[in-house]
Amino acid sequence: MRQAIAEAIVGDDGYGEDETVTRLEARYASLVGKESAVFLPSGVMANQIAVRVLTSPGDVILAGRSQHVVSYEMGASARNSSVQFALVDDTTGTLPIGEVADIIDAEKDHQPHIAMVSIENTHMPSGGTPWLLSQLDELLSVVGSLPVHMDGARLFNAVVATGIPAADYAARATSVMTCLSKGLCAPVGSLLAGSSDLMTQARRERKRLGGSMRQAGFLAAAGLVALDSMIERLSDDHRRARRLADAFATRFPESNYDPATCTTNIVAFDHPLARDLVAQLLELGVAGGTVAPRRARFVTHADIGEEQVDRAVALVEDFRWS
C-alpha cells in the first residue's frame, strides 16, 4: 500500500481530474453493480451523504436502534439533514419485519411518512452479523418502493462470510457504502455507490460537507490495493475472531453469548463489568472496547495473528464475571 501511495498518479479530484480516484470509484461501482460511486474521507460522511440525498428536511428514516448512523454519529443526521428516526430493535442484526411494516403503514394513521430505510451489513453492535439475501428480500417485500441505504462499512466481511456476491447484496439497496479502512487495511477512505443521478447529487453534498479532496489519488491508490488484495484475507480475521468468541463464551457462560453468532471479525458480548474487563485487558496488551454500557467488543484485523489470539485467549481464562 505504501508503495502504491508513493507511485500514485494524481490530479485535482475537485475537478474530477484524479485518474486514480476515478479508477477506484469505477472499480467499486463495478464490484457492487452500481452505475457510479463517489470516494469519501470517511464512513460517517458516506452515511451522512446518503441521508442527504435520499431524504428531505422533516423526513423520517426507519432504522435499527443500534446502527452506526443512529447511535454512533453524534446525531449527525438530525444536524445535517433535519431528519429524525423511527427505531426498531436490531439486537440480532436484522430488522423485525412486522414492526417495520407497521411503522410504514402507520402513515395512514397520521404518523410521519417514512422516507428511507437504513440497514447495516455487517451489523456491528450485534457482533458483525451479515444479512442473508432471504432476510433482505423479506424486508424489501414490506418496504415497497422506499429507498434503502446499506451501511456496508464491512460489506466485504459479509461477502466473505456468506459467499453472497457484493453486487447481489447491493442490488437490494438504492445506495451502498463501504469503508476501505477497517478490515480492508487502507489508511483512509470510504465509497458510496448508487445510480449516476444519485451520485451526481452525492458529489454536490460531498462538496457542501467539505469532503471534496484534491490530490486524493494518494489515498485512492491504497484503496485500490485494499479492494484488489485485502478481501480474501478477511476469512483469517473471521477464523481468529471465532477463536476469541469461543474463549469468551466458555469463560463467561453467564453472558449467554453464543460464539456461533460470531461469523465475521467482531466479538461482542454482554458483561456486567465490561468497562473494567476492557481496561484490565488493555493493561495486559489486548485492546478492545465497549459499544454500550455492559457490552464489550473485540475486533480482529490484519495485524492480529494467531499468536496474538493465543495470548488473548490465555489471558481471558483469568477473568471473572463479577
Ligand X SMILES: Cc1ncc(COP(=O)(O)O)c(C=O)c1O
Return residues touching ligand X (CB under 6 A).
Answer: 42-44, 47, 68, 120, 124, 151, 153, 179, 181, 190
Calculate the alpha carbon distances from 162 to 131, 158, 176 in Å: 9, 6, 18
The closest alpha carbon to 262, from 93, 129, 92, belongs to 129
The C-alpha atoms of residue 295 and residue 277 are separated, in whole angstroms, by 10
Residue 76 CB, nearest approach to ligand X (Å): 10
Q: How far is the CB of 122 from ligand X (least distance, A)?
A: 8
For the CB of residue 267, give the shortest distance to ligand X in the complex, in Å: 14
CA distances, 17 to each of 14, 20, 58, 221 (Å)? 7, 9, 36, 15
- Measured from the CB atom, the residue of 88 and 247 that comes closer to ligand X is 88
Residue whose CB is nearest to ligand X in the complex, by number: 43
Q: What H or E segment, with its residue span, contains residue 2?
A: helix 2-7
Residue at 161: amino acid letter: A
The answer, yes or no, to whether the previous bond of 20 is cis (omega within 30 of 0) is: no
Q: Tell me which amino acid residue 261 is.
A: T
Q: Which residues of 137-167 are buried (b: 16+ CB within 10 A; e: fewer)?
A: eebeebbeebbbbbbbbbbbbbbbbbebebe
Rounded to a whole number of angstroms, the minimum distance from the CB of residue 268 to ligand X is 11
Shortest spacing between CB 188 and ligand X, in angstroms? 8
Q: Which C-beta is closer to ligand X: that of 161 or that of 313? A: 161
Which of residues 252 and 264 has its CB atom nearest to ligand X in the complex? 264
CB nearer to ligand X: pick between 151 and 205: 151
Q: Give the neighbor-by-neighbor strand order of the sheet with 60-64.
A: 36-40, 190-194, 175-179, 148-151, 114-120, 60-64, 84-88
Q: What's the maximum distance between 2 C-alpha atoms anywhere in the chain?
A: 59
73 vs 104, which CB is nearer to ligand X? Answer: 73
- In angstroms, give the least distance from the CB of 90 to ligand X: 12
Which of these, 116, 138, 114, 135, lies nearest to 126 by C-alpha position? 135
Could you tell me the smallest distance in angstroms from the CB atom of residue 295 to ligand X? 14
Q: How far apart are CA 177 and CA 154, in angstroms?
A: 9
The residue (of 43 and 288) whose beta carbon lies closer to ligand X is 43
- 18 versus 151: smaller Cβ distance to ligand X: 151
